[in-house]
Amino acid sequence: MNNEKINRRDFLKELGFVAGTTALLSSFPWLSGMAEDKRKATTGHKARIAVIGTGDRGRYLLNFLVMNPKAEVVWLCDNYEPWLELGRQIAPSAKTCADYRQVIDDPNVDGVVIATPLHTHLEIAGAAMEAGKHVFCEKSMARTLPDTLTMYQTHKRTGHVFFVDQQRLFDPVYLKAIEMIRSGMFGEIQGIKTFWNRNGDWRRPVPSPELERKINWRHYKEYSGGLMTELGCHQIQMGTWIWRELPERIYGQGGITYWKDGREVEDNVGVMYTYKNGKRMSFDSIISNQFYGLEEQIMGNLGTLEPEVGKYYFEKTPPMPGFLQMINNIEKDIFSSVSFAGPSWDPEIARKNHGEYIIGKKRDFLDGTGFTVDAFVEAAITGEQPPMIAEEGYYATVLSLLGLQAIEEKREILFPEEYRIDYL
């Protein structure tokens, strides 16, 4: 678990910006804490970190923390003993407890990593920030729009470091892709199509019936926003990041079309976000078919990017075989006259364009999670909040919840003014 072949200490260099780091940090100011001079200044220091929630995601984050020489995992907390025991196996020297308030009350904790069910995020993160702790919170920020705004306002009022795990902000492929977009390589971005498809019931084994909602909380609306908050939150962020604006209208549809097993959240959703001048971003998710998998297709008039596979494609491609055959036939005087009907010779189907790698090579790491965790550790040592981290997480959550609202209410949603913050 070393984020594969990229050295997380030097990931800015992996982007190919060795000579242009200043420009990179100007475009992506949240990377400021990872600059070489900042990291050198924290050498020899440690952030004392507690992990609250040691389920699958919490343990994934925990693996990055125990590898970081600047992090000391001092507490593990979970109210489900089997998961707590799995956490102990990764960080055996950490103290353990079932009540997060025991962690919050410890003055020897600098920061907390929260990987608990969505509906508990506000309660735990709010208490941690009020107690003077820095907070790294799994996405989405909160279960409801009011809770999301309250959480952000608590961060601003207390002034403590606050990260939301929108790991694309630290993913070298995405950083390079956005830099390429802003350079004008792909012209004007007119549309963003995102999708995340799986084939599985999203269900974990339950040892006894009374634990169903505790273990499979993602299936129930009281605790989760389903596909919108668990998956869509990552991809919907792309609109704010690329266009630096908010959508004007949100439409959505969804339903339980396949996994009819007592769940309350949709297993099939589709949402459209429309921006000024007609630009559009879509999010689709089906969890009964995984053929098309996961991707963002970012489309400009000069080209397209697919960050998940790590490739980009320019619009201008070699002529279609049919067109070449027509030219050959003309040269041989087979036709006495030629009708340029267009689609007859150049059908409007996807071109066979193999593209180029965004960072010059095939993606050889999973995502930006390890980089994000490292950046939080640096910030927890310095106490400096990286710009835009909290705001990107805030709007990703708000847009996910508005998409869910459009699905549930079966109507067009206008972006509510009360949830605008001073950011874009």
Distance CA 274, CA 380 (A): 37
Domain range summary for the chain, segments of one domain joined by +: 8-169+370-383, 172-366+397-419
CATH 3.40.980.10 assigned to 8-169+370-383: no
Closest CA to 409 of 247, 177, 252: 252
φ, ψ of residue 370 to 5 degrees: the values are: -60, -40
Q: Tens digit of pLDDT for each residue in 45-76?
A: 999 999 999 999 999 999 999 999 999 999 99
Quickly count helices (H) and strands (E) in the chain.
Answer: 15, 15
Dihedral angle of Cα 14, 138, 212, 255, to the nearest 10 degrees: -80
Closest CA to 51 of 41, 65, 40: 65
**Identity of residue 13:** K
Whether 386 contacts 164, CB under 8 Å: no
Tell me the fold of 172-366+397-419: Dihydrodipicolinate Reductase; domain 2 (3.30.360)
Closest CA to 382 of 27, 126, 32, 75: 32
Name every residue whose Cβ is closer than 8 Å to that of residue 88 and which is 6 or more positions away in sequence: 76, 94, 96
Closest CA to 66 of 379, 377, 385, 386: 377
pTM for the structure as a whole: 0.90
CA 327 to the chain's CA centroid: 47
φ, ψ of residue 171 to 5 degrees: the values are: -85, 120
Q: Tens digit of pLDDT for each residue in 186-206?
A: 999 999 999 999 999 999 999
Three-class DSSP labels, 371-385: HHHHHHHHHHHHCCC
| pLDDT for position 4 | 45
Which helix (H) or strand (E) segment holds residue 241: the answer is helix 233-243
Q: Tens digit of pLDDT for each residue in 137-194?
A: 999 999 999 999 999 999 999 999 999 999 999 999 999 999 999 999 999 999 999 9
**Identity of residue 96:** T
pLDDT band at 37 (very low <50, low <70, confident <90, very high): confident
Q: What is the mean pLDDT of residues 240-264?
A: 97
Whether 163 contacts 135, CB under 8 Å: yes
Write the Ramachandran bin of 117: left for phi over 0, alpha for psi from -120 to 50, otherwise beta.
beta
Domains 8-169+370-383 and 172-366+397-419 equal at CATH topology level: no
Q: What is the mean pLDDT of residues 253-278?
A: 97
Q: Which residue has the higher pLDDT, 367 or 2?
A: 367
| pLDDT for position 2 | 45
| pLDDT for position 312 | 97
Q: Tens digit of pLDDT for each residue in 311-345?
A: 999 998 655 555 455 555 555 554 444 444 444 44
Q: Tens digit of pLDDT for each residue in 200-230?
A: 999 999 999 999 999 999 999 999 999 999 9
**Torsional sign, CA 245, 250, 256, 261:** positive
Q: Tens digit of pLDDT for each residue in 356-373?
A: 999 888 877 778 999 999
Going by the DSSP 8-state scheme, the letter that residue 119 receives in this structure is G
Three-class DSSP labels, 164-232: ECCHHHHCHHHHHHHHHHHCCCCCCEEEEEEEECCECCCCCCCCCHHHHHHHCHHHCCCCCCCHHHHHH
Closest CA to 246 of 419, 407, 410: 419
